[in-house]
């Protein structure tokens, strides 16, 4: 009897030890995933890999999608080369599922999905709308376009994709001195509540100056500034956004993503070709690293996400996008000058959405 008791005690202790180890590992894995924003699926980092030629792309034709703005419609505006459309992203240690628009609609039937941010969010929102539309081209849709809030609803499925335009995430308010960027306020966040998926993005507008700057002053608490180091301001504003997520999001009801920093390609020195910009570029950079390294804003995003209490998944699209110097509208849009900030559609944002799809189902 004593021997059996000893065996039982030993077995119980062993089971508890294994349980504690697995629990610690699970907690560590969860925190690490949130901390560095890279989802590991069977040991796979979805965002570390390379671009490979893939004749099965693109997933749709720009002429068949009613949601593309002229600024992203490179084919319409005269871009004749199409090799930039014939690449897919291949992670180093796994394969990601091909995007399936019909499956996406079935999985998220009756749900609301919102992109929140600047024109790079718009780029991604229009891309996802086109990718789904290509899968169900005869499905009835309802399209609404307003200044700050736009939407596409796939009526038969009850799936609505929203786009909320707010380039800084924090508020711009009118005060006696003019337009003030308030680093501590997100009144606009009331419009983001009740969503099933939120995909946030911000950075590009923080560095605008002169006439393209969206504000006259910056407010940080009671202090008013004519200017501020833009990375510092971004960090303060993003910290306010992180606090908003922690206070307002229930992870059991809403999945939150951060889109990551989308790079520009105005300065060829960043990829060791100092005389160039994105203009005339027709192929991606080879390999899986970018000569200039990560932009400083990416470190700010990682720091803020690591300090948050609620889980936010970072779509870490920066490096894979840095390799795509060939995928910008360049001179092929309705705007003037050369656009090395946004991306052609179809094009790179389709991969962002494929990775979003993978993160949701894998």
Catalytic residues: 119, 339, 342
- Mind giving me the DSSP string for 166-182? -TTSSEEEEETTEEEEE
- Mind giving me the DSSP string for 42-91? TTEETTSEEEEE-TT--SS-GGG-TT--GGG-TTTTT----GGGSEEEEE
| Angstrom distance (rounded) from CA 216 to CA 172 | 10
C-alpha distance from residue 301 to each of 111, 193, 200, 297 (Å): 27, 22, 11, 6
Q: E strands along 183-259, which residues? A: 197-200, 217-220, 223-225, 255-258
Q: Specify the 3-state DSSP secondary structure of 154.
A: strand
**Is residue 215 within 8 Å of residue 173, measured between CB atoms?**
no
């Amino acid at each position: 009897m004593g021997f059996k008791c000893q065996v039982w005690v030993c077995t119980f202790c062993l089971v508890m030890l294994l349980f504690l180890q697995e629990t610690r590992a699970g907690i560590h894995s969860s925190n690490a995933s949130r901390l560095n924003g890279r989802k590991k699926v069977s040991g796979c980092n979805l965002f570390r890999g390379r671009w490979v030629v893939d004749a099965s792309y693109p997933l749709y034709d720009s002429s068949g999608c009613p949601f593309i703005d002229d600024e992203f419609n490179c084919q319409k505006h005269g871009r004749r080369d199409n090799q930039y459309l014939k690449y897919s992203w291949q992670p180093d240690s796994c394969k990601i599922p091909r995007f399936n628009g019909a499956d996406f609609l079935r999985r998220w039937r009756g749900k609301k999905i919102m992109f929140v941010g600047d024109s790079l969010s718009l780029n991604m929102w229009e891309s996802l709308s086109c990718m789904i539309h290509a899968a169900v081209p005869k499905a009835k849709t309802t399209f609404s376009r307003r200044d700050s809030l736009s939407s596409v609803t796939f009526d038969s499925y009850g799936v609505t994709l929203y786009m909320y335009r707010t380039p800084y995430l924090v508020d711009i308010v009118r005060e006696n001195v003019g337009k003030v960027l308030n680093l501590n306020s997100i009144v606009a966040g009331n419009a983001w509540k009740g969503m099933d998926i939120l995909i946030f993005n911000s950075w590009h507008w923080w560095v605008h100056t002169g006439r393209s700057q969206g504000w006259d002053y910056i407010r940080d608490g009671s202090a008013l500034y004519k200017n501020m180091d833009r990375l510092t301001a971004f960090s303060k504003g993003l910290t306010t956004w992180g606090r908003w997520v922690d206070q307002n999001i229930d992870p059991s009801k809403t999945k939150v993503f951060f889109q990551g920093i989308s790079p520009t390609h105005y300065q060829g020195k960043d990829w060791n070709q100092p005389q160039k910009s994105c203009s005339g570029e027709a192929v991606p950079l080879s390999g899986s690293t970018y000569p200039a390294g990560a932009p400083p804003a990416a470190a700010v995003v990682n720091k803020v996400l690591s300090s948050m209490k609620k889980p936010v998944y970072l779509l870490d699209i920066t490096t894979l996008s840095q390799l795509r110097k060939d995928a910008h509208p360049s001179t092929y849009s309705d705007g003037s000058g050369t656009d090395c900030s946004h991306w052609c559609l179809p094009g790179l944002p389709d991969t962002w959405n494929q990775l979003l799809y993978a993160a949701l189902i894998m």
